[in-house]
Amino acid sequence: MTTPLQPFTLAPVLVERPWGGDRLARYGKVLGGKDLVGESWELADLPQQVAPTVEDPQTRISSGPHTGASLCELISLRGEDLLGPAQPTSDGRFPLLIKLLDARENLSVQVHPPAAYIEHHPEARLKTESWYIVEAEPGSSLFLDLEQGVTLAEVADRIETGDIVPLLRRVHAVAGDFWHLPAGLVHALGAGTMVAEIQTPSDTTFRMYDWSVEYDRQVRELHREAALSSIRLDLPEHHVPKGRGLAGYRVLTNNSHYRVVEHKTDGDGIVVGTSPGPSVLLAVSGTIVLGDLTLDTGATAVVPHESGEVVFHANAEATVLEVTLSVSSVRRPTSRIES
C-alpha cells in the first residue's frame, strides 16, 4: 500500500546577479559568503538548457521520505497524488517558478511577449508573473508601464539609452502591495525592494535598457525590435494595495495560470489546500507549523493534492502566500530563462 503523500519543504537555489545583495540572509538563506545574491528560487523545476548559468535549476525536497528528489522526479513517481487535476508542463515538470528577489540595484527595463507576438515567433514563450512586495526601502520605486500618452514611436527613439527612463511610469513601492504583470507590460523592479515573484516557468525576456552606465555593469544584449513588437499600451492595471493588517485571507490574483492568496493570522490557524491540485506556501513573515513541519520566515513548502485541506498553526502574527495552479490550463513548455 502506498503511503499518502504529505506536505514537504523545499531547499532553495541561490543565484548571484549583478543587481543582487545580501538581504536574503535575513530570510533564512545561507549565502556562503556571497554578497550579490539576487534570487532565491523557492520552487523551480527547470531543465538545464533553460537556465544554463545555474548549476542545478531544480529545487530539491528537504523533508519527508522523498528528501533529495526534484519535483519532476516526484511527478514521475506520484504525479496524480501531487498534482491532482492540474497539469505538468509538456516535459513532465512542475508548472510554476517562485522566487524571492533582492534588488539592491534596478533590474533591467524589459517586456515579455504577448500572444500576438508568439503567433509569429514560435520560439518565444508567453510569461505571466506577479510581484508581492516583501520589503521596500524609503523612496524605492517600481517601474510599471509607460506614462500615459507615450507612443511607440517615442519609445523607439529612446530605447537602449537612459532617455527611456523618463517615459516609464514610476510607482512608489509599498511592502504588502501586490502587482500582476501581464505579457506586454514594460517593467523593471526598482532598487531597494524585495519581492516574492510568482510566474509560469516559461520566460522569454526582451531587455530594453540595463542601467550599465549608472551601475558600471557589464554590457548585456538588448532586444530593440522584439521589445517594440511586444509592447502593449492597452493593459489594465492589476494592483491590490496593502491590507489593513487584519487576520484573514485575500485573493490577490486568479488568472489562467495560477491563483495567489494572502493569508494573515494573529496566532490562529491558516487553512490551506481547499482548491483542487497542490498548494505552494511561502512564509513572508512569522512561523507556521503543521505537525513536525515548521515553516519559518522565507521558507517554502508544498501541500500535495492528496493531502487535501490542512491547517497550519501559528503562535504569533504571520503572513503566508498560498499559490495554487489553474486546473484548466493547458500543458505548457518551458523556455530559456533570462534575468
Indicate which CATH number applies to the domain containing 117: 2.60.120.10
Which strands make up the sheet holding 141-146, listed edge to edge?
Answer: 168-172, 141-146, 187-189, 109-111, 206-209
The whole-number pLDDT of residue 270 equals 95
Q: Which of 89, 99, 28, 25 is nearest to 57 (CA)?
A: 99
The whole-number pLDDT of residue 52 equals 76
184 and 203 housed in the same domain: yes
What Å distances lie between residue 70 and 43, 52, 172, 327, 328, CA to CA? 10, 17, 38, 22, 24
- At 217-229, the pLDDT tens digits run 999 999 999 999 9
| Rounded-to-integer distance, Cα 136 and Cα 156, Å | 31
318 and 274 housed in the same domain: yes
SS3 311: strand
The whole-number pLDDT of residue 144 equals 97
208 and 169 housed in the same domain: yes
- At 82-114, the pLDDT tens digits run 999 999 998 899 999 999 999 999 999 999 988
Active site residue 170: no
The one catalytic residue in 78, 104, 125, 207 is: 207
128 and 266 housed in the same domain: no
72 and 139 housed in the same domain: yes
CA-derived radius of gyration, the chain: 19
| In the predicted structure, residue 339 carries a pLDDT above the cut 60 | no
Give the pLDDT band (50/70/90) at residue 332.
Answer: very low
Does residue 332 lie in a domain region? Answer: no
Residues counted in the chain = 339
Instruction: HSE, CB side, 13 Å, CA atoms: give it for residue 331.
Output: 7
CA-based end-to-end distance of the chain: 45
Q: What is the mean pLDDT of residues 63-68?
A: 96
The whole-number pLDDT of residue 203 equals 64
Q: What is the mean pLDDT of residues 293-316?
A: 96
Question: Residue 281 in contact with residue 90, Cβ under 8 Å?
Answer: no
Counting residues of the chain whose pLDDT is more than 70, the rounded percentage is: 95
Q: Which residues pair with 272 in a beta bridge?
A: 310
193 and 258 housed in the same domain: no
Question: Residue 247 in contact with residue 265, Cβ under 8 Å?
Answer: yes
Q: Where are the beta strands (DSSP E) in 147-186?
A: 168-172, 178-181
Cell numbers describing residue 226: 522584439
| Rounded-to-integer distance, Cα 6 and Cα 3, Å | 9
Mean pLDDT of the chain: 92
Question: Residue 230 in contact with residue 113, Cβ under 8 Å?
Answer: yes
Q: What is the mean pLDDT of residues 9-37?
A: 95
Domain encompassing residue 255: 248-325
Does residue 331 lie in a domain region? Answer: no
Does residue 81 lie in a domain region? Answer: yes
Does residue 333 lie in a domain region? Answer: no
Q: Is the pTM of this model over 0.85?
A: yes
Q: Domain boundary at 182, 207, 240, which? A: 240
Cell numbers describing residue 337: 530563462
The whole-number pLDDT of residue 326 equals 84
